[in-house]
Amino acid sequence: MRRRPLNILGALPLSDTHATQPAPLRRHAVAWALLNAAAGLVGGLTLGWGPLAAPTAAIAGLGLLGALLGAAAARWADRAGRRRWVLRGHAALLVAVALAALIPLYRIGALAPPGEGREGNFRRLRRALDAAYPYFELKGVDWDAAYARYAPQVAEAETDEAYWSLVARMLAELNDGHTGVTSPSARSGLRTFAACRDLDGTIVLDRVGATAQAAGLARGDIVLAVDGRPIEEALAAVPAVLAGGSTPEQRRAAAADVVLSTRGEGLTVTVVDARAQERTVTLRVPDDPPPPPPAPQGPRITGERLPSGLGLIRVPSLGDRDLVAEFDAALDPLMDAPGLILDLRGNGGGNTFVSDRIAGRFLARPFTYGREHFRLRLPQRGWRPHFDYRVTPRGELYTGPVVLLVDGGCFSTAENFIVALVDAGRATTVGRPTGAGSGNPLPFRLTGGAQARFSTGDFRRNDGTPIEGHGIAPDVPVAWTVDDLREGRDPDLDAAERRLPAGPAAPGD
């Protein structure tokens, strides 16, 4: 009895007629089977990864099943002479997948009709947030009423810049640091003389530029007025596009950061200095402003051993996969330190692929630290209704005690990182409440070339607590004083060292 040749999977024989065909025709049949098996594999993987949000093993199983069914369809089509039907089936599958991707993308505003005007763009933005924004209830915002207030103003806007400003103001009402407008002119031409800091209601100079220093201003000077307006009025006048945030504290901090900025020729500022002297100085933009300072060289994540023997690693960002290697390089020489301090202050976030891998150096077993819920299933997230965040142990583990320095500048992915270590019982926090943002935002193109973005994910810790609007309260609160700034002290670091076994004893202990 003549043996029949097997198909590509070695299980489904081709028809008897193919066995007697010339080699070119047999190769054609094998290629046809390969094509159908590949189409079935893609379809099975897409089904498992997308609408079903299946586990990895199940996705692989569905892909294999799809490949088997595709090869079986090829065999049936050859025997029955129905290749056209198989082609139609595969075409229908591809159309279904395309629609499953395009429809949600259109709903979130990723696809814009050509020649769209400002009013149409505004309506589409409203529909996008209606479909995907997860925090209306949490924020307590009447979105329909907000849209109704701004729609007539949008109709009267005469320029794209005016339109962007209106959108920024409306989105600012959501009080969401991940939701707002990034326009080409948001910071264009903005000259900042100094960045200020809010210390328990007092606005104090923090980072002082060369022009301000030349005028006699110094770190720790208390700001009373800007251009003759009391400081509180000046803060309130900062445009929404420059002062977004998820908490009142974060929005106030953002406004303080740019309140001594101008697009004009200069401004006046009234301060009280370290000698308790009140004075008003004029700051003018130089005719030939110096070039911006060069970008810092070397690694962004750095480590050192403190005089107490404790390790200190500064982690200013989590936005690049190269940072994992930088963190490892900083941690490895400190593996024998009796305690470790991770300075996350001002870390605005980045990517959980980075933060979760860094956290893996501190956990002895896998740990799921929260789940993000989506109102709208999107193809770029595998059409999943939710996503679990999980840390997996990686490399040599640091097993000593860990303290995290945190403040209102810790935001987004940085807060995921804090939650992972705190809820796993591996770290204590010192400082001030974090910025309270976890929106997993997506972009929305505005008419005229600007771009908005809005939150789409509602992250919850294992106990159901959201980060958005709540943040993470430190285990050890620390309040800075004006004298701390003036004298160069770091009370956060002092408090962290006192929490660790090898740190210096607290005064009076």
Q: What is the pTM of this model?
A: 0.81
Terminal Cα-to-Cα distance of the chain (whole angstroms): 94
Residues 6+ apart with CB under 8 A from 112: 121, 124, 445
Whole-angstrom CA distances from 241 to 21, 58, 244, 411 are 71, 45, 6, 18
Q: If 0-12 CB within 10 Å is exposed, 13-18 middle and 19+ buried, where does residue 369 land?
A: buried
Identify whether the C-beta of residue 434 lies closer than 8 Å to the C-beta of residue 418. Answer: yes
Cα–Cα distance for residue pair 491/509, rounded to 1 Å? 17
Q: What angle do CA 162, 164, 169 make, to 5 degrees?
A: 95
The DSSP bridge partners found for residue 430 are 405, 476
Q: Position 385: which residue type?
A: P
Identify whether the C-beta of residue 304 lies closer than 8 Å to the C-beta of residue 493. Answer: no
Cα–Cα distance for residue pair 170/180, rounded to 1 Å? 9
Alpha carbons within 13 angstroms on the beta-carbon side of residue 203 total 26
Identify whether the C-beta of residue 500 lies closer than 8 Å to the C-beta of residue 234. Answer: no
Cα–Cα distance for residue pair 154/162, rounded to 1 Å? 8
Cα–Cα distance for residue pair 57/187, rounded to 1 Å? 48
Identify whether the C-beta of residue 402 lies closer than 8 Å to the C-beta of residue 340. Answer: yes
The pLDDT of residue 382 = 73
Identify whether the C-beta of residue 491 lies closer than 8 Å to the C-beta of residue 161. Answer: no
Region for residue 227 given its phi and psi (left: phi exceeds 0; alpha: psi -120 to 50; beta: otherwise) = left
The pLDDT of residue 230 = 97
Residues 6+ apart with CB under 8 A from 322: none
Cα–Cα distance for residue pair 54/32, rounded to 1 Å? 29
Strands 428-431 and 402-406, by their bridges, are: parallel
The pLDDT of residue 101 = 65
Identify whether the C-beta of residue 7 lies closer than 8 Å to the C-beta of residue 13. Answer: yes
Cα–Cα distance for residue pair 217/240, rounded to 1 Å? 27
Total Cβ atoms within 10 A of residue 415: 26
User: In the sheet where 367-374 sits, what is the strand order?
Assistant: 386-391, 367-374, 457-461
Identify whether the C-beta of residue 46 lies closer than 8 Å to the C-beta of residue 67. Answer: no
> Mind listing the pLDDT tens digit of every residue in the chain (509 residues)?
444 443 333 333 444 444 444 555 455 667 666 766 777 777 666 666 655 555 667 667 767 777 777 777 767 766 666 666 666 676 676 677 667 667 777 777 777 777 889 999 999 999 999 989 999 999 999 999 999 999 999 999 999 989 999 999 999 999 999 999 976 666 677 899 999 999 999 999 999 999 999 999 999 999 999 999 999 999 999 988 888 899 999 999 999 999 999 988 999 999 999 999 999 999 999 877 667 677 777 899 999 999 999 999 999 999 987 899 999 999 999 999 999 999 999 999 999 999 999 999 999 999 999 999 999 887 777 778 898 999 999 999 999 999 999 999 999 999 999 999 999 999 999 999 999 999 899 889 899 888 999 999 999 999 999 999 999 999 999 999 999 999 999 999 999 999 998 644 434 44
Q: What angle do CA 392, 398, 401 make, to 5 degrees?
A: 110
